[in-house]
Structure 1
Amino acid sequence: MKILSGDIGGTNSRLALCDVEGNTVRRDIQAIYDSRRYESLADIARAFITEHKVEVETACFGVPGPVHGRQARVTNLPWRVDADELERNLAIDSVYLLNDLEANAHGLATLTEADFRELRPGEPGAVGNAGLLSAGTGLGEAGLFWDGRHHRPFACEGGHTDFAPGDDDEIELLRFLRARVGGHVSWERVVSGPGMVTLYEFLKQRDPGAESKEVAEALANGDPAEEITKAALRGGDSLSERTVQWFLALYGAEAGNVALKFFAVGGVYLGGGIAPKLASLLPQSRFIERFGGKGRMGALLDRIGLSIVMNDKAALQGAASYAARRSRGEPV
């Protein structure tokens, strides 16, 4: 079954024409668009259909932000998305909308063992709910309910829940952020690309002489989170290394929160763009320590497996898989 799938982001939107057979998704045609250059999702989809001269009967798009029924407002873009309008404007029979992390969660079943890097194995034979969180431009989260036979993904907006400091430094960080953004400070403010930059700026404020000239120039000319990550991976830049290590500790703390909220004994998965880049640093970081540092629940969390999703096409494949199952009348 040929399906147009989309992984829509505030910066880039990825579209693909997919062929779906069971849990296998083949991406036949792919393209990336600068989301900010388009006035709507319909314009991007129309550009893809026109450029590649394809006919589309079914489409599914994963969009960042809450999806209410068949409508959504995209986070970080002035877009209102309506599935009924997309069907009319694009002459597509069936259009489905998913939260982007829900699309990612559907995509997990389409991946192979090689698409995951195990950070820690779970308890042998464990089955049950699972959790997914993805740090990138923002912090997305989704759950996977275990119905006794299959995982059923569902969306949430857990990345916007209140950030909870774990020590005196993080209490000071919270005060720093409250002064910047106002009363509500979410986990997304610290566990995301912009959050990594905030951590860097906070540490630099406490130690003004710590920033190297090379990194300062790179931050001024490139993507700040990307440059901090590169500097930490190269080694030799103390400020970037401390920033990334703190970031990973906070990532672990919120991953543990996700595990508890979803009772994710079936595993917790790290998606998004940042975790795969930092995969070599994760095992030596405080991620696992902070993941399990939940007091009386520590023993439960110690039994939960942790894996990094290394395939960045999971959302595209998940959207296609969801649309195929809906078209076949199968439960999703």
Structure 2
Amino acid sequence: MMILAGDIGATKTILALYEFGDGSWRCFQKKQFFSSGYQTFAELLKLFLGDVENIHISAVCIGVAGPVIDGNCNATNLPWVLNQAKISAQLHTPNVWLLNDLEATAWGVLGLPEQSFIDLNPDAEKREGNVAILAAGTGLGESIVVWDGAKHHVIATEGGHADYAPVTDQEIALFNYLREKYPEHVSYERLLSGEGVINIYQFLKKNAWAPAQPETEKLMTERDPAAIIGEAGVAGSDVLCEEALNVFCRIYGSESGNLALKCLPYAGIYLAGGIAVKILPFLQKGVFMQGFLDKGRYRPILQKIPVKICVNPEVALLGAMSHAIKQLNEKS
């Protein structure tokens, strides 16, 4: 039996084939692609399967960054349209599931061992209950896992596109700066993403929080500016980048606390996505937890909720595979 699992993001796409044999699943083939290099997902899929002959794929499960509606998904930050029926026809299997990428991430989080996570909240209490996931990367994804006392139910959301709510005077000024850039809508994704890190840096630079360093500015023209800001901030080599990460972490904590208030995830808030691991020292400094806990009368409740960073970069891929196995087992 063979399962094809996928994790489609605006920056990269990972596809993998998993084979069942001797009572367990093993990875048969896995490749990573730059998403922007392909006009359609069908083109990329054909390329991935080009080296594999005479195999029968029993099931397909793909997590994609975008809302999945009636088996279709218009990827949010890619010009791709994924259709469950077309993928089914291309791979000759009726067992095809498209998931929002944070839905896939949630299934992955539920199946990972404890060593895949780093704790941020020393006052947390381990309890059963709901779980919430946030993932800042190219965009901002959010999902909720409801616990009914017997099993988990994953709920996909587009919470990353909710209205940004500034808290401090600095954040209010940042909101006004972003409103000029995005007059129709300033969402949390405009701050909690790679683009968001750049937006925060440019705001601080414009408001002369500190002088911009020529070396940093030069590197930002040669490589991904968000990566440069993150590296310089973590290294402590550029005070403007350091403050950009401080602002980012506080807002990330604040939005994580917002999501926690909406679903009371007593079993934990989990941070996935590529940014968290790269700026881990800043998340551990305390400014994230400050933003998370600053909820007035509800601080005591949030104080007991576990907050963890997922350090497994393939959590969404593993979640897609896990979901496919679950669906096949329920069918049999």
Fold agreement, TM-score > 0.5: yes
1:27 partnered with 2:35: no
Q: Any unmatched runs of 5+ in structure 2?
A: none
TM-score, scaled relative to structure 1:
0.94
How far the C-alpha of 1:120 sits from its partner, in A, is 1.7
1:226 partnered with 2:189: no
In structure 2, the residue matched to 1:87 is 88
> In 2, are the aligned partners of 1:110 and 1:314 still within 8 Å (CA)?
no
1:16 partnered with 2:1: no
| DSSP-derived class of the 2:271 partner | strand
| C-alpha spacing 1:158/1:95, structure 2 compared with 1 (3 Å) | same
| C-alpha spacing 1:113/1:28, structure 2 compared with 1 (3 Å) | farther
| DSSP-derived class of the 1:284 partner | coil
2:4 alignment partner AA? L
In structure 2, the residue matched to 1:150 is 151
Per-residue Cα deviation, 1:241-266 (whole angstroms, up to 9, x for no partner): 01111110110000101111111111
Measured in 2, the distance between the counterparts of 1:20 and 1:152 equals 25
Measured in 2, the distance between the counterparts of 1:112 and 1:173 equals 39
Q: How does 1:310-329 map to 2 (within 5 A)?
A: 310-329=311-330
Q: How does 1:16-165 map to 2 (within 5 A)?
A: 16-19=16-19, 26-53=26-53, 54-121=55-122, 123-165=124-166
How far the C-alpha of 1:230 sits from its partner, in A, is 0.6
1:2 alignment partner AA? M
| C-alpha spacing 1:11/1:159, structure 2 compared with 1 (3 Å) | same
How far the C-alpha of 1:215 sits from its partner, in A, is 0.5
1:310 alignment partner AA? V
In structure 2, the residue matched to 1:267 is 268
TM-score, scaled relative to structure 2:
0.94
Per-residue Cα deviation, 1:211-267 (whole angstroms, up to 9, x for no partner): 111101110100011010110111131001011111101100001011111111111
| C-alpha spacing 1:257/1:12, structure 2 compared with 1 (3 Å) | same
Measured in 1, the distance between the counterparts of 2:121 and 2:177 equals 34
| C-alpha spacing 1:137/1:202, structure 2 compared with 1 (3 Å) | same
> In 1, are the aligned partners of 2:2 and 2:56 still within 8 Å (CA)?
no
Per-residue Cα deviation, 1:292-330 (whole angstroms, up to 9, x for no partner): 101111111011010000001111010011111111217
| DSSP-derived class of the 1:308 partner | strand
In structure 2, the residue matched to 1:6 is 6
1:193 alignment partner AA? G
| DSSP-derived class of the 2:184 partner | coil
| C-alpha spacing 1:235/1:123, structure 2 compared with 1 (3 Å) | closer
Q: How many correspondences in the alignment?
A: 329
How far the C-alpha of 1:26 sits from its partner, in A, is 4.0
Measured in 1, the distance between the counterparts of 2:67 and 2:41 equals 16
Measured in 1, the distance between the counterparts of 2:137 and 2:216 equals 21
Measured in 1, the distance between the counterparts of 2:299 and 2:244 equals 26
Measured in 2, the distance between the counterparts of 1:276 and 1:328 equals 33
Higher mean C-alpha displacement, 162-171 vs 143-152: 143-152
2:217 alignment partner AA? A
In structure 2, the residue matched to 1:203 is 204
| DSSP-derived class of the 1:199 partner | helix
Higher mean C-alpha displacement, 322-331 vs 234-243: 322-331
Measured in 2, the distance between the counterparts of 1:252 and 1:209 equals 24
In structure 1, the residue matched to 2:237 is 236
2:108 alignment partner AA? G
> In 2, are the aligned partners of 1:25 and 1:110 still within 8 Å (CA)?
no
| C-alpha spacing 1:192/1:312, structure 2 compared with 1 (3 Å) | same
Measured in 2, the distance between the counterparts of 1:123 and 1:168 equals 30
| DSSP-derived class of the 1:290 partner | helix
| DSSP-derived class of the 1:211 partner | coil
Measured in 2, the distance between the counterparts of 1:195 and 1:25 equals 38
> In 1, are the aligned partners of 2:142 and 2:156 still within 8 Å (CA)?
yes
